[in-house]
Structure 1
Amino acid sequence: MSNLNKTPTANRLHIAIFGKRNMGKSTLINALTNQNIAIVSDFAGTTTDPVSKAMEILPIGPCVIIDTAGIDDVGELGNLRIQKSIDVIKKTDIALLVIDYNGFNNFDYKIMELLKENNTKFIVVVNKTDIQSISNEFKTDLNNYKYIELSAKNKTKINELKELIIKHSPKSFEQPSILGDLISPGDDIILVIPIDTGMPKGRLILPQVQTIRDILDNDGIIHISKERELRWTLENLKKKPKLVITDSQEFAKVSADTPDDILLTSFSILFARYKGDLFELVKGAKVLKNLKPNDKVLIAEACTHHAQPDDIGKVKIPRWIKQNIEPEIEFDFCSGRDYPNNLTNYKLVIHCGGCTLNRKEMLNRIEASTKNGVPIINYGLCIATIHGILDRALKPFEEVYLEWLDSE
């Protein structure tokens, strides 16, 4: 199947498998997927780094299986592997903690504690029942958890484990509709999509594609134009569109060309709600408007694309902030999974739309910021604030808009 036809990884249920070395984690992955995805060996520590595989598992549906290194790995390199395994928790929707008939030890309890701290549901999988049954004493301890006894090697009770995963997976792992609650069947929606150096050749970017699909799912009528053709598009529609959605980089021009009685927002602001917490992200606008000389700002990208000469995160946003808010701002940058654990040195975090992150990881980053007392805002909200059109860009989201007005 072409990658273009697959469910994006960020929209799949993320199932991570944790446990000590040689508990049969890789064997369990192969049993769950009915494929030889992971290397299996009797030698402890075969899996050295987290390995992700996006796939369809019936009857679960689209998911990502993440195999992690043993949480009891040893040595300096082993400690790095353990940390990478722990970092996986940030994006895990549901975890499988694999043990055997010997029961829990301190490593298992540590992982359970971390899973609870991150509000991550987990199932204890007692593996290797083909070798030995668990004792009655251990079974009493297990009754405090959701658990299942099975043999990954013999593929016994694998279907029952799948049923448990479905039953206990968080209902919120799949994001709400991008804009299904904002439109009605038959509404005309205009999408403004500029073609610039940052646009991948021959295709649209993921938020644009997902928004188009969501409009179709909700029986809306789609009109697409570049920013220069927006005014002509509006003049030639037979009825007023319900909503104009623009790339955030063209907010100023699109706002000027769109009549005030037509709702306007951006793909990035839609994704602030779809992937994260729009209420929380809007709070960062106040801090942005009041940045002072020598304040430090972190600009975070979820993906690791090659930066263009006019890159939105590394070039345009810093330039706009210096031109419109405060020239003496210090910027740091991070990308991919390298999101800092300590944010206390920053006055504000400006995050991309997070289209490559699953909802759990984006919410985790928002929570990490708020715990550190550092407001966070995303690109779309940031650009709307800089250009003085945040009020207008929030109007489609009535509850957030009213709360924002009350806070002003």
Structure 2
Amino acid sequence: MMNDRTPQSERLHIAFFGRCNSGKSTLINALTGQQISVVSDLPGTTTDPVSKAIELRGLGACVLTDTPGFDDAQEELGARRIATARRTLDRTDIAVLLLDEAPHAATEAWLGHLRERNIPVVGVLSRADLLSDPEAAAARIGKRCGLRPVAVSATQGSGLAELREALVRALPDDTPREITAGLAAAGDTVLLVMPQDAEAPKGRLIQPQVQTIRELLDKGCTALCCTPEGMEGALAALAAPPSLIITDSQAFARAAALRPEGTPLTSFSILFARYKGDIDRFAAGARAIDRLTEQSRVLIAEACTHAPLGEDIGRVKLPAMLRRRIGEGLRIDIVSGADFPEDLTPYDLVIHCGACMFNRRHVMTRVARACAQQVPMTNYGVAIAYLQGILDKVVY
């Protein structure tokens, strides 16, 4: 069961959208029973998205996000706030949209944005206690918008149970999945090859390694860990070859050379490409490397915003591998965190990290953008396997 330590990337992301002073913050506080968002009668009190990790009955581990009003009239500052709210859509699994009894263009336009992105929407008619007939008002809104809202009074607590039920019904069909689905089962011995270089946090393991090990243990597998230098000794210590080898992408070549005949090989990055993104599209995107020239332009996108060190795979090692293959003239741009261009057409290839810090919706939003603009996209592990000529030797 997920708890307070569940990473945000593994939680269901529920974002609340509405006009300024529509009651978003009050509703979140009532739904959670906590003072998560600041409530005020002043328009524009919520200036940036405010997120809170929490457990909700029937939904499990969630992240609730309060967003700025999408009708903020404060010229340039208001436009920035609205743009920030729009970026929240990239990672939203379920949207809660506060609807108005009277028609409002901004609200109906926002509903259109949500539907264009295929984000499940739960409508809410807030402050129902101030209406003479909230059910009739909800019916009128439903007829107008094609979305029957739940009538809720945050101050009186009415409608909150119905809202939770509506959120459960809106759960996306593709959550959750397994990192090692189809590759490891109870009783299997899995060898994990994990470099401990300058990029490995002192005293800790990186998140993909931790999540994978935990899943293997939950499945009833035996997880044996080693560094690339210790791989030969680890294999020799086993009475039989492992059922699966999972390696860090940068150790692909050594792991492939030492892999026993018949033992499947994959990487943490490839596993997360399956888990978070579209592995088939990433495999096809890696083959675009053959079409690159020194006049080409590549975008490398990191999900996290860590301070890079000398052995950084995305900023140092992968660019070096690409330039050895293509030529020093290859132009490579690097973005991190929430930064990701709306217009990808200047690029001949996008290479994304394993995205352990993103939820699946966030990754698939970027995949969809690249696909719509006909720009090939792959990820670190798939690209490295292709550059080393072993993509056809790894499982995905």
TM-score by length of 2: 0.95
Q: Distance in 2 between matches of 1:206 and 1:104?
A: 46
1:32 maps to what in 2?
31
| Kept after mapping to 1: 8 A contact 2:299/2:332 | yes
Letter in 1 for 2:40: S
* RMSD (Å), alpha carbons: 1.6
- Cα drift, residue 136 of structure 1: 4.1
**Structural mapping, 1:4-15, within 5 Å:** 6-15=5-14
1:207 maps to what in 2?
208
Q: Distance in 2 between matches of 1:318 and 1:288?
A: 12
Q: Distance in 1 between matches of 2:85 and 2:290?
A: 38
2:293 maps to what in 1?
292
Name which of structure 1's ranges 165-174 and 88-97 shifts more when overlaid on structure 2.
Answer: 165-174
Q: Distance in 2 between matches of 1:136 and 1:6?
A: 43
- Cα drift, residue 265 of structure 1: 0.8
Q: Deviations along 1:246-285, whole A, 9 cap, x unmatched?
A: 0001111111122332211100000000000101111111
Q: Distance in 2 between matches of 1:248 and 1:30?
A: 43
Letter in 1 for 2:53: A
How many corresponding residue pairs? 391
- Cα drift, residue 135 of structure 1: 8.2
Q: Deviations along 1:171-230, whole A, 9 cap, x unmatched?
A: 2243x1111321222111000011000001111111001101111122111110111110
In the alignment, structure 2 segments of 5+ residues that lack a partner are none
2:87 maps to what in 1?
87
SS at match of 2:298: strand
2:41 maps to what in 1?
42
Q: Distance in 2 between matches of 1:349 and 1:12?
A: 26
TM-score by length of 1: 0.93
2:328 maps to what in 1?
327
| Kept after mapping to 2: 8 A contact 1:93/1:173 | no
| Kept after mapping to 1: 8 A contact 2:14/2:92 | yes
2:270 maps to what in 1?
269
SS at match of 2:166: helix
User: Percent identity, aligned pairs only?
Assistant: 42
**Structural mapping, 1:225-264, within 5 Å:** 225-264=226-265
- Cα drift, residue 5 of structure 1: 6.3
- Cα drift, residue 43 of structure 1: 1.2
Q: Distance in 2 between matches of 1:108 and 1:239?
A: 62
**Structural mapping, 1:112-151, within 5 Å:** 112-133=111-132, 134=134, 136=136, 139-143=139-143, 144-151=146-153
In the alignment, structure 1 segments of 5+ residues that lack a partner are 398-408
2:173 maps to what in 1?
171
SS at match of 2:129: coil
Q: Distance in 1 between matches of 2:118 and 2:52?
A: 23
Cα separation, partners in 2 of 1:177 and 1:138, compared to 1, 3 Å = closer
Cα separation, partners in 2 of 1:61 and 1:104, compared to 1, 3 Å = farther
| Kept after mapping to 2: 8 A contact 1:7/1:62 | yes
Q: Distance in 2 between matches of 1:203 and 1:135?
A: 54
SS at match of 1:244: strand
SS at match of 1:298: strand
| Kept after mapping to 1: 8 A contact 2:99/2:149 | no
Letter in 2 for 1:315: V
Q: Deviations along 1:4-38, whole A, 9 cap, x unmatched?
A: 96111011111000000111100001011100111
